Structure 1
């Protein structure tokens, strides 16, 4: 966690134990407005990443004792889970030369970056759910609703929202 924050220009702090996912972000603007103002008009950087609200909010909340982490079963993020040794095969697919070429091509065509869903992704999500995950997301999106619907169907959730 320290590297995540220091790479974005924040001072190290022992209270930094996690990050905030913007999709699960709830806060009172009057409490954090000054922190965001300082962040945006400072020399902080995202290190090439987007999601500009996550780093300052996570840092501010944790260093001001306002951070209450959810059980990670409610917010399983595939990129983080794919780093686990038992799931190295899904990590490897994203670093496969053909996958990377297809990803770049599709990104160029659609002007946005989302996940290409494969059968391995379906097996990966199924394994996380069997471990007890309640919510799993790709930290991005799908190239089409058809791909998302296929994933839901393959997981046995067809027709559910």
Structure 2
């Protein structure tokens, strides 16, 4: 069985991120018995959809493989992470982590946006102009997903080049990935440890609030300067670094979505 770990790298910023973490990615690929596959240019240079939505074309670009793991570049892999390829059953063709909708972490994280709290799993899809279906399980995060290219490539490519419009709440690749895999009964919910978002751990837990309050003690002018200079949303204080190292140690993949500063192993 041919396996690959795939990265979508377009632009110097993302090459720098990849190179900082290259050794870890290579070690994990070796553990999994997988090749590293890098896509370094847009897969549709006519941009029928935005660049982020072109993740829908990755299965078509990786048909030479039997199974492929895609990962965003802002992810740190724990040394103890097992092979994620072992977590996609033979009769399932697409796996990802379901959003923790309805949990305390989710509610605390998004409490400032009532629309998100009020949104049910069904509403998530219908609000983005997909029809309701009893097989729908929920929304996903697109930072980590695993798939069988030959089984899923055509349907995702067909959607990408269709005229379907998700409207104001466009979630790019995430909604169609979740929708079509779930209504076709291809979907496998991966263990949450394969995509733990720092965002939820900072905003949605008591420990995270302590770390956040500690960061706010820094002078405001200093924090704003740092945010502007680095593009981060948070200054990596000692408490932040220690908390993040704990998160990494306790899970498999830690995802620094939302522009939280990456703490490398």
Alignment match of 1:34 (pick from 146, 158, 164): 158
* CA shift for structure 1 position 17: 2.8
CA distance in 2, matches of 1:11, 1:100: 44
Q: 1:126 to 1:4 in 2, by over 3 A?
A: farther
Query: Is 1:121 matched with 2:243?
Result: no
| Structure 1 runs not aligned, ≥5 long | 108-112
Residue equivalent to 2:201: 81
TM-score, normalised to structure 1, is 0.60
Q: 1:114 to 1:24 in 2, by over 3 A?
A: farther
**What does 1:94-109 correspond to in 2, within 5 Å?**
98=220, 101-102=224-225, 105-106=228-229
| SS of equivalent residue, structure 1 residue 21 | strand
Alignment match of 1:58 (pick from 178, 187, 210): 178
Query: Is 1:135 matched with 2:248?
Result: no
Q: Which has the larger radius of gyration?
A: 2
Alignment match of 2:142 (pick from 1, 15, 21): 21
| Structure 2 runs not aligned, ≥5 long | 1-100, 102-120
CA distance in 2, matches of 1:32, 1:61: 9
Flag the structure with more relative contact order, 1 or 2, with Cα contacts below 8 A and sequence separation at least 6: 2
More helix by share: 1
RMSD across aligned C-alpha pairs, in angstroms?
Answer: 3.7
Deviates more, 1:116-125 or 1:73-82: 116-125
Q: Contact 1:5 / 1:12 at 8 angstroms: preserved in 2?
A: yes
| SS of equivalent residue, structure 1 residue 139 | coil
* Count of paired positions: 136
